[in-house]
A and B are shown apart, each in its own frame.
Chain A
Amino acid sequence: GAGVSQSPSNKVTEKGKDVELRCDPISGHTALYWYRQSLGQGLEFLIYFQGNSAPDKSGLPSDRFSAERTGGSVSTLTIQRTQQEDSAVYLCASSLEYSQRLFFGSGTQLSVL
């Protein structure tokens, strides 16, 4: 596609429910990143994929968070048993290869009530 696409753009859920956030990177980009941005704050690294592999999962805040990438393209970030502190904007970025120029999607605003 022309840019990084994320869906949904907004998600409101109840505490304890599971949510799935989707990212479609730019076509041909092998590297994919997930970040989280709380209100008025900077960006917190969550996970990085090179192809379908995630060499570093240390940024995931807890074992309730997981992510996968299939076919070297679409990625899904799953949050189980959501908590209010999970409320944030979840941002996805892709780059042609590792460590090259990052291009961000417009994010998913997650609100946990």
Chain B
Amino acid sequence: GIQVEQSPPDLILQEGANSTLRCNFSDSVNNLQWFHQNPWGQLINLFYIPSGTKQNGRLSATTVATERYSLLYISSSQTTDSGVYFCAVEQGTYKYIFGTGTRLKVLA
């Protein structure tokens, strides 16, 4: 089956810093989404981004489907950005396969 790898696995930032999270997938996909799981376990949908670039406030995402990767940019990080970031891909088989996750900690 498809492999979905995220990097880095862990990231520690000082408040105000910028970061880039990467999601690589081993096969072509129809759809891709990014999620933030906060420290209380709630998963929040950040982007639905099968291709192209989208921005939402301090967050933006780019998916290059032909090269099988997606990037999530976080600018001017805040402590509330802490948690785990997951990408999830779908290949036309109904199920979204989740990546390995990036655990982010933002220090005040």
Q: Report A's interface with B, CB cutoff 8 A.
A: 33, 35, 42-43, 45, 48, 50, 55-56, 59, 89, 91, 93, 98-104, 106-107
Chain A residue with Cβ nearest B50: A99
Chain A residue with Cβ nearest B42: A106
Q: Are B48 and A55 in contact (CB under 8 A)?
A: no
| Shortest Cβ distance from residue A109 to the other chain B in the assembled complex, whole angstroms | 8
Q: Contacts A102-B33, A106-B41, A106-B42 given; indicate if A48 touches B48 (C-beta within 8 A).
A: no
Chain A residue with Cβ nearest B90: A99
Instruction: Tell me the complex Cα distance, A91–B31, Å.
Output: 20
| B interface size (C-beta, 8 A) | 23
Q: Are B96 and A56 in contact (CB under 8 A)?
A: no
When distances are taken between beta carbons in the complex, the residues of chain B under 8 Å from A107 are: 41
**Secondary structure class of chain A's binding surface, majority of residues:** strand
Q: Contacts A100-B48, A106-B42 given; indicate if A45 touches B96 (C-beta within 8 A).
A: yes
Q: Are B98 and A42 in contact (CB under 8 A)?
A: yes
Q: Report B's interface with A, CB cutoff 8 A.
A: 30-31, 33, 35, 41-45, 48, 86, 88, 90, 92-101
When distances are taken between beta carbons in the complex, the residues of chain A under 8 Å from B98 are: 35, 42-43, 45
| Shortest Cβ distance from residue A42 to the other chain B in the assembled complex, whole angstroms | 5
Instruction: Tell me the complex Cα distance, A93–B92, Å.
Output: 17
| Shortest Cβ distance from residue B100 to the other chain A in the assembled complex, whole angstroms | 6
Please pick, from A59, A100, A103, the residue contacting B95 in the complex, using a CB distance under 8 A: A59
Chain A residue with Cβ nearest B103: A40
